[in-house]
């Protein structure tokens, strides 16, 4: 019998555990558009409590929570500031422009990390010819920065500066709970510096569907209206909300296992001549490495790994990304590292 594939393409490939499936099957439900779904309501209350916010709203995806946050904070003709490699700018089809008529101003960080000094001169003057600067967004942890955690002092400095300038603040916290587990800093402590925060349940927490947006009650009530026009109103959504709620209650602390597995994989990369971690520091559960052209392309190495039962993603002609998660155990990660080393040795 063939060994199961070791799927490191993303932490979104996780499947619900049996216990999570049982919670979903037994979820109490209702029509969450015309009334209240009790399980959705419990999830939303739990998220608000976790993030220290007045209210939260459940949505189908992190792209929707991010884009509705932008819609809440900006009007057509406004501009928001973001890091050039962030998810909102790269992986959401510029929905802020398509759906909201909002422009963006990107800033190059270091592995996704910004410093307040990079932002001080970016606010447009009040002038009829100029776009209006209204919002700053940060991503924590940073996907294209290989799961980099935004330094807490940077977050505080940026958000205090933004508030002093009359700018709103939104946190794309799709993997915020990875930062919480890695640093020991509570989710509410991270979230307190932002007007709105989004968190995802279908990555490290292992739920099949959904994200939540948290913030002031008045804004979240308005977000519900925007969710409807974006097509995100769901009926008996308690079935999927139960999976998210189960993840919050049982899968946060175990994110540390994914971080440990990522370190194992990173050590295997370090031992391969011709592979270079980018960045060298691995904060959480994402490992990105560069393939020296002498070994061929990233796509070719991805194909060679696939033939040996390891699935990863090429993110550029020279870079590969691997993500650890609850469906890949430590022994499988070690095996993936061994296979990678064997392939590199053969190519050399």
Angle subtended by helix axes 255-270 and 330-347, to nearest 10: 20
Q: What is the rounded CA–CA span in Å between residue 267 and residue 108?
A: 28
Among the listed residues 225, 227, 194, the one whose alpha carbon sits nearest the alpha carbon of residue 212 = 227
Q: Where are the alpha helices (DSSP H) in 85-216?
A: 87-90, 95-100, 152-164, 176-183, 187-191
Burial class (CB within 10 angstroms; exposed 0-12, middle 13-18, buried 19+) of 262: buried
DSSP classification of residue 171 = E
pLDDT of residue 2: 60
pLDDT of residue 3: 73
18-250 belongs to CATH 3.40.630.40: no
Mean pLDDT calculated for residue range 283-308: 97
pLDDT of residue 59: 98
pLDDT of residue 192: 98
Q: How confident is the model at residue 274 (pLDDT cuts 50, 70, 90)?
A: very high
Mean pLDDT calculated for residue range 231-260: 97
pLDDT of residue 175: 98
Q: How confident is the model at residue 107 (pLDDT cuts 50, 70, 90)?
A: very high
251's tokens: 């899968």
Mean pLDDT of the chain: 97
319's tokens: 């870079």
CB atoms under 10 Å from CB of 303, counted, come to: 12
Strands 168-173 and 132-139: parallel
Cα–Cα separations (whole angstroms), residue 253 to 177, 194, 210 = 9, 24, 20
Mean pLDDT calculated for residue range 130-155: 97
Q: What is the rounded CA–CA span in Å between residue 276 and residue 282?
A: 12
Q: Is the pLDDT of residue 18 over 60?
A: yes
Mean pLDDT calculated for residue range 167-178: 98
Q: Is the pLDDT of residue 181 over 90?
A: yes
**Percent of the chain predicted with pLDDT > 70:** 99
Mean pLDDT calculated for residue range 172-178: 98
Q: Is the pLDDT of residue 145 over 80?
A: yes
Q: Is the pLDDT of residue 238 over 90?
A: yes
pLDDT of residue 348: 77
Mean pLDDT calculated for residue range 312-321: 97
Mean pLDDT calculated for residue range 300-305: 97
CATH class of the domain comprising 6-13+254-347? alpha beta
pLDDT of residue 237: 97
For the chain, the structural domain boundaries read 6-13+254-347, 18-250
Mean pLDDT calculated for residue range 136-156: 98
pLDDT tens-digit series, residues 25-73: 999 999 999 989 999 999 999 999 999 999 999 999 999 999 999 999 9
340's tokens: 């990678």
Q: What is the DSSP string of 283-316?
A: -SSEEEEEEPGGG--HHHHHHHHHHTTEE-EESS
Cβ neighbours for 105, distance < 8 A, ≥ 6 positions apart: 79, 80, 81, 82, 122, 133
Mean pLDDT calculated for residue range 3-19: 95
Cβ neighbours for 93, distance < 8 A, ≥ 6 positions apart: none
């Amino acid at each position: 019998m063939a060994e199961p594939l070791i799927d490191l393409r993303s932490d979104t490939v996780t499947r619900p555990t049996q216990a999570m499936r049982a919670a979903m099957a037994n979820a109490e439900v209702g029509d969450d558009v015309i009334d209240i779904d009790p399980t959705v309501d419990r999830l939303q209350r739990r998220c608000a409590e976790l993030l220290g916010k007045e209210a939260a709203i459940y949505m189908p995806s992190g792209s929707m929570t991010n884009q509705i946050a932008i819609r809440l904070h900006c009007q057509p003709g406004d501009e928001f500031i973001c890091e050039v490699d962030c998810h909102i700018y790269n992986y959401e089809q510029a929905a802020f422009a398509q759906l909201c008529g909002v422009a963006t101003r990107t800033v190059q960080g270091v592995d996704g990390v910004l410093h307040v000094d990079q932002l001080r001169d970016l606010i447009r003057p009040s002038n009829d010819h100029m776009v209006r600067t209204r919002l700053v967004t940060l991503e924590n942890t940073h996907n294209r920065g290989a799961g980099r955690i935004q330094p807490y002092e940077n977050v505080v400095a940026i958000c205090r500066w933004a508030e002093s300038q009359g700018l709103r603040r939104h946190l794309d916290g799709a993997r915020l709970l990875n930062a919480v587990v890695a640093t020991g800093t509570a989710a509410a402590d991270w979230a307190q510096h932002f007007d709105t925060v989004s968190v995802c349940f279908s990555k490290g927490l292992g739920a099949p569907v959904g994200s939540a947006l948290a913030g002031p009650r008045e804004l979240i009530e308005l977000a519900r209206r925007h969710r409807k026009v974006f097509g995100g109103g769901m009926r008996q959504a308690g079935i999927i909300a139960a999976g998210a709620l189960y993840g919050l209650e049982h899968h946060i602390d175990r994110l540390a296992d994914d971080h440990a597995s990522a370190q194992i994989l990173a050590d295997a990369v370090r031992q391969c001549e011709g592979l270079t971690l980018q960045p060298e520091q691995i904060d959480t559960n994402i490992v990105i490495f560069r393939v020296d052209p002498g070994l061929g392309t990233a796509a070719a190495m991805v194909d060679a790994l696939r033939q040996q039962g390891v699935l990863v993603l090429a993110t550029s002609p020279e870079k590969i990304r691997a993500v650890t998660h609850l469906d890949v155990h430590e022994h499988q990660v070690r095996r993936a590292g061994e296979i990678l080393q064997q392939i590199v040795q053969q190519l050399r």
